Structure 1
Amino acid sequence: MEKKEKEELQKAWLKSSKEDFQIAEDLIGMRHYQWALFLCHIAIEKALKANYIKIIDQYPPPIHKLVKLAQDCKLALTEAQINDLKEMTTFHIEARYDVIKDKLYKKATKEFTLKYFEITKKLLNYFISLI
C-alpha cells in the first residue's frame, strides 16, 4: 500500500470513528441506548481498522470481532480490555439481527450504556494514541 493511500485510509477510518462516537453520545441523550451501544462498537471497530492499516499495511478484513482485530494488530491489551471488547462485539450482533435484538434491548439500560460509553471513550483514546 502506498504511503499516501495508507494515510488517507487511516484518516478516513478515524474520522468516521469519531463521528460514530459523537452520534452514540447523541443517541444516549435521546434514550436510544441499544443504538448508542451499536455505534460504540462501530467506533471501536473503525479505530482498530485504522490501526490495522498502520500496522499490517493492508486493507482491514471485513470482520466485526473486536478482539480478533486487536489481536491481528498485536496490540497490548489487559484482560479487562479484552473482556470489554468481547462484550462490545455482542452489541454489533444483537443490534443487527431481529431474532436476538431483544437481548440487547433488555440489557441496554441507561447505566449499562453509560458504562460502556465511558469504556469506549477510553479505548478510543488508547487506539487513536497508537496511530
Structure 2
Amino acid sequence: MSEKTIQYWVDLSNYDLETADAMLKTKRFLYVGFMAHQTIEKILKAYFVKIRDEVPLYTHNLLILAEKLELLDRLSENQMSLLEKLMPLNIEARYPKYKEELLKSLTHEKCEAILKETKELQKWIKKKLKQN
C-alpha cells in the first residue's frame, strides 16, 4: 500500500474531527460522539495500512482494530476508556430506537471531554504513524 492510501485515511480522520468540532458548536451532541468514533476509526485504519501494508479490516469495532495493530497493551487506561466510550456511539447513533436514550446522556460537558480525548488519541496515533 502507498503513502497516498495512508494519507487518504489521515485526511478522512481529520475531516471527521473537524466535523465533530462543528457538531459541538451547533449542539448536535449525538453526532459529536459519532464523528469522534469515525475520527479514531479512520486514524486506526491509516495505521493499519502503514503497519500491515494491506487494506484495513472492514469493521467499525475500534477494539478489534486496536487488537490487530497490537495497540491494546500500549494504550493508556484513559485511551482504552475512550475506545470503550466511543464504541456504542457509532452504532446507537445510527438507529432511531437508541437515539433518544443516547441524547439524554450526552451533555455539552461530556461531548467536550470526548472531543478533547479524541484529539489526544488521534495525535498519539499520528505520532506512531511517523515513527514507523
- TM superposition score category, shorter chain reference: over 0.9
Matched residue SS, 2:27: coil
1:129 maps to what in 2?
A: 127
Percent identity, aligned pairs only, is: 31
| Equivalences for residues 98-113 of structure 1 within 5 A | 98-113=96-111
Deviation (angstroms), 1:102? 1.8
Structure 2 unaligned runs (5+)? none
Deviation (angstroms), 1:103? 2.3
Alignment partner of 1:10 is 2:6: yes
Alignment partner of 1:19 is 2:15: yes
For normalisation by structure 1, the TM-score amounts to 0.92
Alignment partner of 1:85 is 2:95: no
Deviation readout 1:97-131 (Å, 9 max, x if unpaired): 11212222111110110010000010000011111
Distance 1:7 1:103 in 2: 41
Structure 1 unaligned runs (5+)? none
AA in 1 matched with 2:113: K
Matched residue SS, 1:96: coil
1:63 maps to what in 2?
A: 59
Distance 2:62 2:30 in 1: 18
Matched residue SS, 1:117: helix
AA in 2 matched with 1:92: N
Moved over 4 A (4+): none
Match for residue 54 of structure 1 among 50, 56, 61: 50
Distance 2:6 2:100 in 1: 34
Task: Please report the RMSD computed on the Cα atoms of aligned residues, expressed in angstroms.
Answer: 1.0
Deviation (angstroms), 1:15? 0.4
Q: Paired residues, what number?
A: 127
2:93 maps to what in 1?
A: 95
Distance 1:103 1:55 in 2: 38
For normalisation by structure 2, the TM-score amounts to 0.91
Deviation (angstroms), 1:79? 2.7
